Structure 1
Amino acid sequence: MTMKQSTRRLTAALCVAALGLMSGGAWAQKTPLLVYTALETDAMKLYKDAFEKANPDIEVKWVRDSTGIVTAKLLAEKANPQADVVAGLAASSLALLQQEGMLLAYEPKGFKDLNPAYSDAARPPAWVGMDVWAATICFNHVEAKKLGLPKPESWKDLTKPVYKGTISMPHPASSGTGYLDVSSWLQNMGDAEGWKYMDALHQNIAQYVHSGSKPCKQAGAGEFPIGISFEFRAHQVKKSGAPVDLIFPKEGLGWDIEATSLMKTSTKLEQGKRFADWMASKEANQISARWWAVVAYPGVVSKLEGIPDNYEKLLAKNDLNWAAKNRERILAEWSKRYEGKAEPK
């Protein structure tokens, strides 16, 4: 080998090495995508890992809290938004953000495969549904027997004096589950009767807690025998072996939709759209179906322990835009009446 050939080979090798380093460096420089969420922590890692496997140049950075806290944070940041995407937040909250002009309407790839009933009706939609979650009562039959408590069958039953001090419920300003309960009672009973019902229920409430999951966990642990919660957590608590029965009140269940939206002010819209595309995919919906009885992609759910086959038919009348428009008024009135039993933050 001549000196010239040797030099050429060395130069070529160095170029290949340099390109490899540049490629590796570029690959290592993942684009961070800030996603505000109220997803259950059980699910967050599965969504993140699967999305990043399909999109290795993007890193999901979660900011997680309960629905009411995330909603308040987004509204407080309206003048200087931080989030790129919102995922796993109540559709009633997203409808409020849309009314404030904060969301970018976008129809993700594969949207035509989803059930349109669980996304924004506008085209393109401001938010795209992931799953439905609905009110469920967790009833600890072991503790209830000790206390001589009958098994309730309806929302009205929970106002009976026998249940005084035995019920925990999510705070509607903190929890999306708490707000869907209050909104549903007002929508389905009417304003006057709805507040009258909550006045009576309040007499039996031991504590309003700042999480939709916590009342069912409390019921499972026997802290309070009855917890107003939602079916995801109820299913998980029952599956863990806790002595709880799942009750779906016969008047109908308040409900909301976990959904995904793009923030209009994001500087990473290309990455955000890829995230929205993936969240609308069959793969993402299959993850949701591990816990939820109703998801946006038809045909991927399986039977969940304790969830009745007619579950979807139990969902009460619900106007999500009404819930969004009236949120501030409802929460102010609720706080004035019932804040005294709220769990300390």
Structure 2
Amino acid sequence: MKLAHCLGVTLLLATSAHVYAKETITVYTAFETDLLADFKNTFQKSHPDIDINWVRDSTGVITAKLLAEGKNTQADVIWGLAGSSLALLKEQGVIKPFTPVGVQSLKPTMLDPQANQAWYGHDAFFNVVCFNEIIAKQLNLPKPTTWEDLTKPIYKGHIVMPNPSSSGTGYTQVSAWLQTMGSEQGWDYMTRLDNNIAKYTHSGSKPCVESAQGETVIGISFALRAAKLKSQGAPIDLILPEGIGWDTEAVALVNTDSKAAQALVNWSVSKEANELYNTVYPVVAHKEVNGNVKNYPDVESAIADIDFNAMANDRAAVLKKWSAHFESRTENRS
């Protein structure tokens, strides 16, 4: 009896452990760090048996990491990475074709435009120019309104922008300049702008953070962070020169054998998830979700007309040329 009882207890414990064991999936992301907990916790309310192991860095770093790892990547899902990066990863066979539940409720303009769709946008992220009005007044600096204004000698040493090799914000703006100005004029513009650059950062948010803190006057940066900082009382004006860079953050499946990974992708395009995105992004993919975000600039009149396939295909050549000319002003990684 004692042996049978012990075996029964052992079996019960083993069964209980199996029932309550969580499956952990690895998710590569470029989401802002302060969003991760909300996204994970909301997902787990309906999927308590799935845990997320985040691998987070800026867009450029995550993209380079995935390209280096290739089909041997440890990622199960990529969630919160630029659509242009995912287009490139699709060509490399890193992400797999997959049709999430509810995809018909998403705006077609924010989805993989190719056959055998493999990535699905959930929000659009935009760039902005942050301008510290207090420091500018102290230094007698006028407010710029155009990209050309930023090349004026009066702004020398007062501009910070992201390095496009490590920051998606940086790369989207470089792409926007090249596509709207043309290649020759775009590179000429960046050469003249470089004369006024204090440094290039590895983070797309950092230039605006430094502008808000008075460490620089002008930061070419990430509009989401800019809106948050302004809402917190930062003395910054948000400027939208015509031809502002943008991209869509998107989700894609890597591990097609994982039901948990598929569940996350399905949830990531749901109305519930889009309502969560909409608390920080004014433009999201779900057709029925369209709330406003406090202090987020009206980007509709200023955004560049972007060819995302060209952005993806030209990436390596553009970054190689940019680094050869401008890398020396990039800050050291801490």
Give the TM-score normalised by the residue count of structure 2: 0.94
Offset of 1:282 from its aligned partner? 0.7
Distance 1:273-1:255 versus aligned 2 partners, 3 A rule:
same
Whether 1:320 aligns to 2:308 is yes
Distance 1:224-1:277 versus aligned 2 partners, 3 A rule:
same
What does 1:288-307 correspond to in 2, within 5 Å?
288-307=277-296
The amino acid of 2:324's aligned partner reads K
CA distance in 2, matches of 1:27, 1:202: 58
Which stretch shows the higher mean deviation, 69-78 or 267-276? 267-276
Equivalent residue number for residue 249 of structure 2: 258
Distance 1:267-1:295 versus aligned 2 partners, 3 A rule:
closer
- Secondary structure, aligned partner of 2:70: coil
Percent of aligned positions that are identical: 47
* Residue of structure 2 aligned with 1:52, choices 44, 57, 66: 44
What does 1:122-271 correspond to in 2, within 5 Å?
122-249=114-241, 251-263=242-254, 266=255, 268-271=257-260
- Secondary structure, aligned partner of 1:290: coil
Offset of 1:27 from its aligned partner? 3.0
Whether 1:343 aligns to 2:331 is yes
CA distances 1:174-204 after superposition (whole Å, capped 9, x unpaired): 0000000001100110000000100111011
The amino acid of 1:233's aligned partner reads R
CA distance in 1, matches of 2:311, 2:104: 26
- Secondary structure, aligned partner of 1:295: coil
Offset of 1:267 from its aligned partner? 6.3
Offset of 1:308 from its aligned partner? 4.0
- Secondary structure, aligned partner of 1:121: coil
Offset of 1:293 from its aligned partner? 1.4
Equivalent residue number for residue 320 of structure 2: 332
The answer to whether the Cα contact below 8 Å between 1:292 and 1:301 also exists between their aligned partners in 2 is no
Distance 1:71-1:59 versus aligned 2 partners, 3 A rule:
same
CA distances 1:72-91 after superposition (whole Å, capped 9, x unpaired): 11111115221111010111
CA distance in 2, matches of 1:197, 1:151: 19
CA distance in 1, matches of 2:279, 2:237: 20
The amino acid of 2:47's aligned partner reads N
Offset of 1:51 from its aligned partner? 1.1
Offset of 1:64 from its aligned partner? 0.4
Offset of 1:240 from its aligned partner? 1.4
Distance 1:331-1:177 versus aligned 2 partners, 3 A rule:
same
Whether 1:98 aligns to 2:90 is yes
The answer to whether the Cα contact below 8 Å between 2:127 and 2:223 also exists between their aligned partners in 1 is yes
Aligned residues: 332
CA distance in 1, matches of 2:268, 2:116: 16
CA distances 1:284-323 after superposition (whole Å, capped 9, x unpaired): 11111111111111242322233345x2343211011101
Give the TM-score normalised by the residue count of structure 1: 0.91
The amino acid of 2:235's aligned partner reads P
